[in-house]
Every structure is written in structure tokens, then in C-alpha cells.
Amino acid sequence: MSLTLAERVRSGDVRAIARAISLIEDEAASAAGLVRDIFPHTGHTYLVGVTGPPGAGKSTLVDRLTAATRASGETVGVICVDPTSPFTGGAILGDRLRMQAHTHDEHVFIRSMATRGHMGGLARATSDAALVLDAAGKSLVIIETVGVGQDEVDIVRTADVSVVVLVPGTGDDVQALKAGIMEIADIFVVNKCDRDGSERMVTSIESNLALQAYGEGEWRPPILKTEATTGRGVDELWATIQQFRTHSGNAAPGSSRTQSTRRLKARNEFRLRDLLTHRFMESVEHELLGPGEFDALIARIAAREVDPYTAASDILSRALRPKS
């Protein structure tokens, strides 16, 4: 009897994992069934989100971090999220090359994913891909994203630990990232500390943190310095991730325990809300409304023939009307 894709994923079959993630990426109809089949076997992976501005050295750092985690016996899945570029067509050759160190390690699975389809599609796809790696038995999954949009913030926010990578000499970055990313960082990394200005960057992050109030026993994001190209500081980063895990998982009663519970709730709430919104909009556009009707409605709003509130109410009442 031949095994199902879900069963092959669970056995850790590399080609099955790749195939499963492709189905998810393509939003194939069979992806929902796959997630349904593997879901009961997930929930064992620790999810590490790594984000930061373009070129900060995230991939180099993730590569080094992977080596460090392997040395302590973790099996690792890496997902690099590539904001689809019209110039490269989303190919992420650079990351592939930088991560070649692990190509012969059967306990490391590396995959890049690109934005496709609707808004929010990326966060949905990466969280499903992480489920696949979870079901395949990876003890650690690292997701690398460029911290630019809401999608990226969503991805990192729902990870078990969020690592924000910044580099010296780009004080503007703190400003640019502050909106979403600064608040969700559990650990700050100032990479490229071989360059001038890394202390200034640390100070700049510290003054940002000083504006926030941390309660008794609450985790205050540490700021680490790394040089990903040589691996300097990477063991400390791995140790800090483990400290955070211990802190949020089983430390003193009270705030700490609730922190990981809150993360988990946030992740599942995000999943459900996101999926429901996506499904609802799909059925509105493709089932409830006739061909072209959605666009026509948008044009009518532009022409001030109808206001957006009335348009939305009309759609909603049509969607909720019992079928006769």
C-alpha cells in the first residue's frame, strides 16, 4: 500500500516535505487536506522568527545559527521568505548559495518562499510550511523575513521567539522599523559589528527600550552583537534564544508562563482569523458576486455613486441571507 503525502511528510521524507510546501505555496486545493492530516501531529517545534532590513546579514546569521543549533542536537527547518521582486522573479539564489554549508546534512531542510496571490498569503503560507516541518519532526524552525510589511510582522509576531537583526550606521532603520518590528522583538542583534558604529546602534536601541516599562520578572529584550561572516557572537545568540525559551516556557509562576500561552493563542487566533477572512473574501468574489461585479462596485465607489459602508453592508447582508 502506498503512503499518503501526509504520512511521507511525517516520516521525514525530504521530497515529500518539498512537495507539501509547494502545494501550500501554490495554494493548491489539496493543501487544506494535507494540513488537516498533519495538524494533530504538530505542536512540537520551536519557531524562531528572524527579521530585519534588507542586507542586514540575516541569511548569513541564520546559516551560522543553524550550525550552532545542529551542534546541540536540534533538527532544523529553515524558511527564507523572499518578497517577490519584479527584478529577480523571486529567485533567491543568494540564500541558496549562502546556506550551502548544510546541503549534505539530512537534518537540515532549507526552503525559500515567495509572496503570491492575495494579501496575507505569505504569512498563511509560511505558517503552514512551518506546520509541515513540525510534522516532519524538525525540532526547530527558523523563518527569515525582510521586515518591511505587515505580512512580515505577522510572521514574526506569531513565532515563539522574534529576533530582530539591525546593522550599524543605519540609525534610520530603527526609525523605519519602529512601527511594527521594534515592539515585537524578543532579542535584538546588531550584526556586522566589525563595522564602525555598532556601539552607537546598541545605544540607539537601548534608548528605545528605555521608553518602555518592563514589569518584575518580565523579559527585557537583550541586545547582542554578532559578526555573522565569522560566526562571532552566534553561540551567545543561540544561548539567549534558549534562555528566552526557558523564561517564557516554565519560569516562575505568573507572567512567564502566560507569555508562551499568549504567543500560542496569538498564532492560532491569527490563523483562524486570517483563513476565515481569506475564505470569506474568496467566496464573496467568486461565488456571491457575479463576474466583474466586485470591480464594478469599486468603480461605483470611485464615482461616488455608493459609499463603501453601504456597499459592504449590502454584500454582507447578501452573504448572510439564508439560501432559499
Ligand X SMILES: Nc1nc2c(ncn2[C@@H]2O[C@H](COP(=O)(O)OP(=O)(O)OP(=O)(O)O)[C@@H](O)[C@H]2O)c(=O)[nH]1
Residues that bind Mg ion (CB under 5 A): 58-59
192 binds, among Mg ion, ligand X, none (CB under 5 to 8 A by kind): ligand X
**Which residue's Cβ has the minimum distance to Mg ion?**
59
Cell of 303: 464615482
Interaction of residue 126 with ligand X, rule CB under 6 A? no
| Non-local CB neighbours of 69 within 8 Å, separated by 6+ positions | 76, 140, 238
Among 56, 184, 224, 297, binds ligand X (CB under 6 A): 56
| Closest CA relative to residue 257, chosen from 246, 265, 248 | 248
Q: How many CA atoms lie within 13 A of 51 on its CB side?
A: 31
Type of residue found at 195: R
64 binds, among Mg ion, ligand X, none (CB under 5 to 8 A by kind): none
Interaction of residue 191 with ligand X, rule CB under 6 A? yes
d(CA 138, CA 201) in angstroms, rounded, equals: 34
229 binds, among Mg ion, ligand X, none (CB under 5 to 8 A by kind): ligand X
3-class SS of residue 137? coil
Match 518584575 to its residue by C-alpha cell. 216
DSSP class of residue 40 equals: G
Interaction of residue 54 with ligand X, rule CB under 6 A? yes
d(CA 212, CA 182) in angstroms, rounded, equals: 11
Among 59, 158, 248, 260, binds ligand X (CB under 6 A): 59
198 binds, among Mg ion, ligand X, none (CB under 5 to 8 A by kind): none
* Shortest Å, Cβ 173 to ligand X: 12
Sign of CA dihedral 315, 317, 319, 323: negative
* Shortest Å, Cβ 184 to ligand X: 18
**Which residue's Cβ has the minimum distance to ligand X?**
57
Interface positions, 206-225, toward ligand X (CB under 6 A)? none
* Contact string 67-106 vs ligand X (x = CB under 6 A): ---------------------------x---x--------
Type of residue found at 228: A
Interface positions, 138-157, toward ligand X (CB under 6 A)? 146
Residue number, 140 or 189, with CB nearest to ligand X = 189
How many whole angstroms from its chain centre is CA 176?
19
How many whole angstroms from its chain centre is CA 80?
9
- Interaction site with ligand X (CB under 6 A): 54-60, 94, 98, 146, 191-192, 194-195, 227-229
